[in-house]
Structure 1
């Protein structure tokens, strides 16, 4: 297939995927000598795809790229919705993000406010051989931060600024080209639309409740969590029309720590970039903002800053909309944002608990979960977590996150 040497670990990449990767590499005109496949991060940094860094070395230069490869194992594909996730990301990188950036350029938005995303070198949306090849942002001095630690105030604010820009461009697109927005939203599929039709989803949340109750200290806390983890499917259905409303945007959909990269200069934060769009679909903007706040910060920070953060997001939304002659209060008012803080309380509590139950686990625990996924799908993962006790470090992290969430909901009257 290739006329150069392949090195490193690529045994889990099938022939069709390697063929596509080779096509993209040859398009870079580097007169390639060898390509080295290496791991990206550690177990637990990426869940829905196998992510590798490839180093391309040639007579005309070198290049590093990030390769996201879909599993062709049916148990994994079925459990994680692989085809849906890779299709979403394919549409985002090849259609949506370039279109949103073109809107900014046409409106004369200053370059420093342009939507930044990783360059897409190529995307193969061919089940079960999906591959997405992206710019390696490490080469531009971006880095991921520790998922076990709350993000700093400056990191939260730069993410909120980016979300203000990102969400504003959906509104601008709706205003200028409503048919294009409708086309994009029809192509992007909400992962919850699949889950609510899964007859086992209720049992999965019952098992989740069984796993997290030992983290709690008293009956008051336990009753709160029992209430928030019950009837989650109905909560999803109650909010399902939001995705078709005037306030909906194309959301990122999975705003946890490892889906952001940050660039610092001499200790000062300069830039942040979102790096995953597999869960993107048309939805209420608060699904991004509140999930990010609940999953990436602790109660101490939220208790002092929650409404200031929401004010800042809304002001950045308005600032970006002004380039298109639009105003935030005419589209998504601050009062509506406050109402959505409460309306989305149950769903985002349940989602945050579900994610933290996975994200707070260490590398060895995640490795065991991934093996269980390959054998038994999502039910296998839940069974694995139920049978194997958390390490003390995982227990302590998970308990802190859950108690913090309860405190935040109590303080802001969201229960």
Structure 2
């Protein structure tokens, strides 16, 4: 047990997790006087585990930490694939991210161009007590934006630059240390085909499709959804299986608004990725399409989509140039276009389904989380049918669905 008394909201933590947190705190040498856990965000901001802020007062100063722990119940762990997701993030924070930044520093990349990530104070991967302890980015002026509002062009460009850095440095890592790259990435797992498969998600997929069809008014949109929404469960594994290894990179993997933080100044916006639980060795376009469809609306995409893809590739090339590499050889622009179209349909249906959850208000999201974590998989669909959506939620889901389809029509992604 911890050597001093924790205060606040930590009932969901095990003794082993508290012991690990205490050990990490003691390593900071601030002579703790008080350590208080508080709730972070609203229900629905995090679907995988429990997230708390830890405010520490010490004789040698104060320190705030961001604590993420896995769910403990068997149902909740199964629903969130805790073993996989926390292993992915543990590997990213303890091995991959430090290695990528080390490569940049060794090449003399300026400080302002380094891949930025939250400082990791400690990571425990011992199922079922997985625990990740990060710096509290609020202290550095970063904040989370509203998941129900479209991100601005500047925010999107910040995310795209992060993707370009992560993906390009993956190639550098693979180029310099091929055996180490394979060794590390082979320990990571692709999350979405595990979560969304026929056995686990078949019933919910049919419910999600019926829910969306009941919200849509226009038959031209309904025709693209009816008897098709669950297709991504079959398309995505097939595409992944056929994917050649040459262009694979380390993905962020779960690019929705709450997995980024932004420091917004008068003339600039800094962006940080904060969640790597779905990270794995995969196609770069999964990050691009996932972010674009989940974080923006059709009006914004309609104006900036081609520019975003050009910007991604130019930043990808600029990062590679620090290591004497060229995008034209590593990942040509026309290959990016081919891959965007290859993944387009699967990602469209995945993101439409995903947004039936993301677009719920906090109360509805809390209900969904309780259902996911406390109801057996084969009974979830039946329980969901009893949930009544608020009018605002129905409107958000309708607008998201129609907007995604409109974007695909405009840019020939269907």
Normalising by structure 2, what TM-score?
A: 0.96
Once residues 102 and 394 of structure 1 are traced to their aligned partners in structure 2, the CA distance between those partners, rounded to angstroms, is 44
Partner of 1:71: 71
Once residues 225 and 326 of structure 1 are traced to their aligned partners in structure 2, the CA distance between those partners, rounded to angstroms, is 43
Q: Which moved more, 1:214-223 or 1:46-55?
A: 214-223
Q: 1:25-61 CA distances to partner (integer Å, 9 max, x unpaired)?
A: 1111111111000001111111111100001111111
Once residues 378 and 116 of structure 1 are traced to their aligned partners in structure 2, the CA distance between those partners, rounded to angstroms, is 38
Once residues 2 and 231 of structure 1 are traced to their aligned partners in structure 2, the CA distance between those partners, rounded to angstroms, is 49
Q: Which moved more, 1:2-11 or 1:181-190?
A: 2-11
Please report how far the alpha carbon of residue 381 of structure 1 lies from its aligned counterpart in structure 2 after TM superposition.
4.7
CA 1:106/1:246 → structure 2, altered by over 3 Å: closer, same or farther? same
Partner of 1:393: 392
1:187-198 correspondence runs (5 A): 187-195=187-195
Once residues 5 and 302 of structure 1 are traced to their aligned partners in structure 2, the CA distance between those partners, rounded to angstroms, is 50
Please report how far the alpha carbon of residue 333 of structure 1 lies from its aligned counterpart in structure 2 after TM superposition.
1.2
Q: 1:340-388 CA distances to partner (integer Å, 9 max, x unpaired)?
A: 1211111111111121111110111111112212321455554443221
Please report how far the alpha carbon of residue 241 of structure 1 lies from its aligned counterpart in structure 2 after TM superposition.
3.2
Task: Please state if 1:161 is matched with 2:173.
Answer: no
Secondary structure of the residue aligned to 1:42 is coil
Q: 1:285-335 CA distances to partner (integer Å, 9 max, x unpaired)?
A: 000011101111111111121111100100000000000111112111111
Partner of 2:51: 51
Matched-pair contact (CA < 8 Å) for 1:228–1:346: no
Alignment coverage as a number of residue pairs:
414
Once residues 228 and 157 of structure 1 are traced to their aligned partners in structure 2, the CA distance between those partners, rounded to angstroms, is 32
Normalising by structure 1, what TM-score?
A: 0.96
Please report how far the alpha carbon of residue 194 of structure 1 lies from its aligned counterpart in structure 2 after TM superposition.
2.6
Partner of 2:363: 364
Partner of 2:341: 342
Q: 1:245-289 CA distances to partner (integer Å, 9 max, x unpaired)?
A: 110000000000010000122x33331100000000000000001
1:12-411 correspondence runs (5 A): 12-195=12-195, 199-226=199-226, 228-241=228-241, 245-265=245-265, 267-379=266-378, 381-411=380-410
Once residues 290 and 61 of structure 2 are traced to their aligned partners in structure 1, the CA distance between those partners, rounded to angstroms, is 41
Unpaired runs of 5+ residues, structure 1, are none
Partner of 2:9: 9
Matched-pair contact (CA < 8 Å) for 1:369–1:381: no
Once residues 286 and 377 of structure 2 are traced to their aligned partners in structure 1, the CA distance between those partners, rounded to angstroms, is 23
Matched-pair contact (CA < 8 Å) for 1:80–1:378: no
Matched-pair contact (CA < 8 Å) for 1:76–1:377: no
